Amino acid sequence: MCYDTHIVHPMFLLPLLFSVVEPDYTLLNCDQYDWLRGAIGRSSLLTRSERIDLHILFIESTDPQCFLEK
C-alpha cells in the first residue's frame, strides 16, 4: 500500500493551530455589564437560578475596573 506523504489530515493540524492562535475577545465594559444585568433582572422568561448563572458569567466577562470602588 502506498501512502501520499504530502497530504496531512486536518485533525493533525488542529493542535498546532490552537496553540498558535490567540483568542480574539474583549471584556464587557461597565455600560454593557449594567445593561445586561438590568435586562436579565427584568426577564420573566428566566428562572432565578438562570439569572444568577448569567449574572456570574457577566461578572467574569467584565472589566474588573467596573467593580472597584471609585
**Predicted local distance difference test score (pLDDT) of residue 49:** 93
**Predicted local distance difference test score (pLDDT) of residue 46:** 86
The per-residue DSSP string of 1-57 comes to ----TT---HHHHHHHHHHHPPP----B-HHHHHHHHHHHHH-SSS-HHHHHHHHHH
In the chain, what are the domain boundaries?
Answer: 22-67
Work out the pLDDT band at 18, boundaries 50, 70, 90: low
Work out the pLDDT band at 58, boundaries 50, 70, 90: very high
User: Is 9 a residue whose pLDDT tops 70?
Assistant: no
Mean per-residue pLDDT for 16-31?
72
Q: pTM of this prediction?
A: 0.61
